[in-house]
Amino acid sequence: PFEVLVVGGGPAGAAAAIYAARKGIRTGVAAERFGGQVLDTMDIENFISVSRTEGPKLAAQLEAHVKDYDVEIMNLQKAAKLIPAKTEGGYHEVVLENGASLKGRTVILSTGARWRQMGVPGEEEYRNKGVAYCPHCDGPLFKGKRVAVIGGGNSGVEAAIDLAGIVAHVTLIEFDSQLRADAVLQRKLASLPNVRIITSALTTKVEGDGNRVTGLSYKDRNHGTEHDVELEGIFVQIGLVPNTEWLKDAIAMSPRGEIEIDARGETSQPGIFAAGDCTTVPYKQIVIAMGAGSTAALSAFDYLIRLPAS
């Protein structure tokens, strides 16, 4: 059994493992895919103090740094169920998909999130070649270019406002007959000169030249007509889904399935902490996930030293 069992091996989990191991307590990390979303990222330009790096490189460095410590890494292990301890100070159990089970006196949940995809031809092919999901991350790469934002909820409209200040032109495409974002955001968006809003539109295809995105096609849902838009970038903003389906009923979550945490990273279950994109933390970014992972590990340590000696 572990004193700190981390579930998830992205930036949050790696930071949690390092902080826990540095306290000299038995630490393990179980991860479906060590590295997390960083593995799917190309250029990273906002990892503070590193001007520019690439996702797979950062993922390898995360793993190497964790391996500097006595941490048991269990890669390619998917957690399927969490059974909280029956008594304070008892072991929490994490049941893996393969049937095995791991125990931790504290558990840090850091299973991250995934961007909902459009599921249209070209999206996968041109991922990181014009198809992007994170305006904070990739917005500046499209300086002076034309982009589309797919999705007219709060995140889509926020992204469009953000991008309008950086890129030459933004086309916002919404499936519904109206935007769903807060009125104040919609007013702000409507005031911007370089934004075009298209509603009742279903994106049908990402167009490219083999190397980069060159446009997109959409269908006008009122008239059934097909249209093309020439552009260099597409930001898909139709939802960020936390990887928390396996935690149902075990701990408190927001209506969007994000694990509820307090300022110390503690969940509704004593001894169970959470960090990063799977939580209610505002803004999902690498540096934020790392800070949250560190917070969760320090909180787990504080919890452990307060348990009565057994």
Q: Does 12 bind ligand FAD (CB under 6 A)?
A: yes
In the complex with ligand FAD, which residue's Cβ is closer, 132 or 195? 132
Interaction with ligand FAD in 48-67: which residues (CB under 6 A)?
Answer: none
Q: Does 286 bind ligand FAD (CB under 6 A)?
A: yes
Q: How far is the CB of 223 from ligand FAD (least distance, A)?
A: 34
Q: Does 9 bind ligand FAD (CB under 6 A)?
A: yes
Q: Does 154 bind ligand FAD (CB under 6 A)?
A: no
| CA torsion, ordered 79, 81, 83, 89, to nearest 10 deg | 10
Q: Does 113 bind ligand FAD (CB under 6 A)?
A: yes
Q: Residues 66, 14: contact at Cβ < 8 Å?
A: yes
**The binder of ligand FAD chosen from 5, 6, 17, 34 (CB under 6 A):** 34
In the complex with ligand FAD, which residue's Cβ is closer, 41 or 203? 41
Q: Does 289 bind ligand FAD (CB under 6 A)?
A: yes
CA–CA dist 32, 109 (Å, integer): 13
Q: Does 133 bind ligand FAD (CB under 6 A)?
A: yes
Interaction with ligand FAD in 226-245: which residues (CB under 6 A)?
Answer: 243
Binding part of the chain for ligand FAD, among 64-72, 98-106, 133-141, 187-195 by CB under 6 A, reads 133-141
- In this structure, what token pair is assigned to residue 202? 């279903």
Q: For every residue of the chain, which 3-state class applies, written as one string?
A: CEEEEEECCCHHHHHHHHHHHCCCCCEEEEECCCCHHHHHCCEECCECCECCEEHHHHHHHHHHHHHCCCEEEEECCCEEEEECCCCCCCCEEEEECCCCEEEEEEEEECCCEEECCCCCCCCCCCECCCEECCHHHHHHHHCCCEEEEECCCHHHHHHHHHHHCCCCEEEEECCCCCCCCCHHHHHHHHCCCCEEEECCEEEEEEEECCCCEEEEEEEECCCCCEEEEECCEEEECCCEEECCHHHCCCCCECCCCCECCCCCCECCCCCEEECHHHECCCCCCHHHHHHHHHHHHHHHHHHHHCCCCC
Q: How far is the CB of 177 from ligand FAD (least distance, A)?
A: 30
Q: Does 126 bind ligand FAD (CB under 6 A)?
A: no
Binding part of the chain for ligand FAD, among 29-37, 139-147, 171-179, 213-221 by CB under 6 A, reads 29-37
Helix pair 11-21, 286-305: axis angle to 10 deg: 30
Binding part of the chain for ligand FAD, among 18-26, 35-43, 211-219, 261-269 by CB under 6 A, reads 35-43
Binding part of the chain for ligand FAD, among 83-91, 151-159, 208-216, 280-288 by CB under 6 A, reads 280-288
**The binder of ligand FAD chosen from 37, 106, 295, 299 (CB under 6 A):** 37
Q: Does 195 bind ligand FAD (CB under 6 A)?
A: no
**Total number of residues that touch ligand FAD (CB under 6 A):** 38
CA–CA dist 242, 151 (Å, integer): 18
Q: What is the CA radius of gyration of the chain?
A: 21
- The residue number whose beta carbon is nearest to ligand FAD equals 112
Q: Does 11 bind ligand FAD (CB under 6 A)?
A: yes
**The binder of ligand FAD chosen from 4, 6, 7, 195 (CB under 6 A):** 7
Q: Does 41 bind ligand FAD (CB under 6 A)?
A: yes
Residues within the interface to ligand FAD (CB under 6 A):
7-13, 30-34, 36-38, 40-41, 44, 46, 78-79, 110-113, 115, 133-134, 137, 243, 246, 276-277, 284-287, 289
